[in-house]
Amino acid sequence: MPAPLTTPAIVLRSWSFGESDKIVSFLTESHGKLRGIAKGAKRSRKRFANSLEPFSLVNLRFLDRTAGLVFIQGCELVQVFKRLTATLDKIAHASYFTELADVLSNERDENPALFAHVRNGLAFLDANETSEVAIAYFELKLLSLSGYQPGLDHCRRCRAGWRGNAGRWNFSLRDGGVLCPGCSAFRREVAPLSPSALEFMEELERANGEFPVHLSSFPADARREGHLALLRFIQYQIGKELKSAPFLDAFST
Ligand SMILES: [Zn+2]
């Protein structure tokens, strides 16, 4: 019989399983993404209290017996981000952040920096107004922590820098970064980036550790272009559309 393991974790999703159980997807600090079964979670409210609700920060105790589902022995609430479920706007954003964490993390792959970024992202959303700056920063840093860092400072093909290089630059999904006007001519899989959007993304990349709220001074178009390029890049990398992305549009600021 293996010994139980414990780790800080964030509840990404949970759903009913059979009459009385729940399946829960977690992002953990020391075991990457895990899916587990919580026996009797629907029947006994006492055992798991509210600790299996999405966006909760918990201490997870589990048994890892097979390569599939882990057996959830206990789940203790560490922090509830209460405001994340208070309005539709916050729910839409928190659902987007957790879906991104779900698709860009790997099962049983320890990545404490990625875990810390997702935890900080939910804490930031809980305490602040939602914004495209927060979304784009969350996306870009998560891409970099999961090994998909896009190249933003010069053309991925000819190495030309974008500063002082007039014309329409684009973000290429296939090349994983920006392309100069010449190298992106006739390309269809690209997202346009104005000079202001290029600068916005460079500033996002520079911000390290703190959500760069000062970047809200960038024009709305630049922030939106940056977010859309990153969203399309993420969807290209995972090969599917994110379910929660369309709901963000209703609340974009
Ligand atoms: Zn080029």
Q: Quick one: pLDDT at residue 251?
A: 67
Q: Quick one: pLDDT at residue 202?
A: 95
Q: Quick one: pLDDT at residue 50?
A: 79
Task: Please tell me the number of Cα atoms within 13 Å of 61 on its side-chain side.
Answer: 10
Expressed in angstroms and rounded, the spacing between residue 190 Cα and the centre of ligand 1 is 13
In order of 21, 79, 82, the CA distances from 100 in angstroms are: 26, 21, 20
Task: Please tell me the number of Cα atoms within 13 Å of 205 on its side-chain side.
Answer: 16
Q: Per residue of the chain (253 residues), give pLDDT as tens.
A: 678 999 999 999 999 999 999 999 999 999 999 999 999 888 776 778 778 999 999 999 999 977 789 999 999 999 999 999 999 999 999 999 999 999 999 999 999 999 999 999 999 999 999 999 999 999 999 999 999 999 999 999 999 999 888 789 999 999 999 999 999 999 998 999 999 999 999 999 999 778 999 999 999 999 999 999 999 999 999 999 999 999 987 766 5
User: CATH 2.40.50.140 residue ranges in the chain?
Assistant: 5-82
Expressed in angstroms and rounded, the spacing between residue 157 Cα and the centre of ligand 1 is 5
Expressed in angstroms and rounded, the spacing between residue 165 Cα and the centre of ligand 1 is 10
Q: Quick one: pLDDT at residue 66?
A: 74
Expressed in angstroms and rounded, the spacing between residue 240 Cα and the centre of ligand 1 is 28
Expressed in angstroms and rounded, the spacing between residue 181 Cα and the centre of ligand 1 is 7
Q: Quick one: pLDDT at residue 252?
A: 60
CA angle, corner 220, sides to 214 and 224, nearest 5?
A: 100
Expressed in angstroms and rounded, the spacing between residue 156 Cα and the centre of ligand 1 is 7
Sign of CA pseudo-dihedral 187, 190, 194, 199? negative
Expressed in angstroms and rounded, the spacing between residue 218 Cα and the centre of ligand 1 is 25
Estimate to the nearest angstrom the gap between the alpha carbon of 55 and the chain centroid: 12
Structure-derived torsion over alpha carbons of residues 248, 152, 209, 35, reported in degrees to the nearest 10: 60
Domain made up of 5-82: CATH architecture? Beta Barrel (2.40)
Expressed in angstroms and rounded, the spacing between residue 103 Cα and the centre of ligand 1 is 31
Q: Quick one: pLDDT at residue 209?
A: 79
Expressed in angstroms and rounded, the spacing between residue 175 Cα and the centre of ligand 1 is 11
Expressed in angstroms and rounded, the spacing between residue 161 Cα and the centre of ligand 1 is 9
Expressed in angstroms and rounded, the spacing between residue 194 Cα and the centre of ligand 1 is 15
CA angle, corner 64, sides to 61 and 69, nearest 5?
A: 100
At 199 the three-state DSSP class reads: helix
Strands (E) across 20-156 are located at 21-28, 33-38, 57-63, 70-79
Expressed in angstroms and rounded, the spacing between residue 75 Cα and the centre of ligand 1 is 52
Order the strands of the 177-179 sheet from edge to edge.
177-179, 169-172, 190-193
Expressed in angstroms and rounded, the spacing between residue 160 Cα and the centre of ligand 1 is 6
Expressed in angstroms and rounded, the spacing between residue 180 Cα and the centre of ligand 1 is 4
**Could you tell me the pTM of the whole model?**
0.94
Expressed in angstroms and rounded, the spacing between residue 234 Cα and the centre of ligand 1 is 22
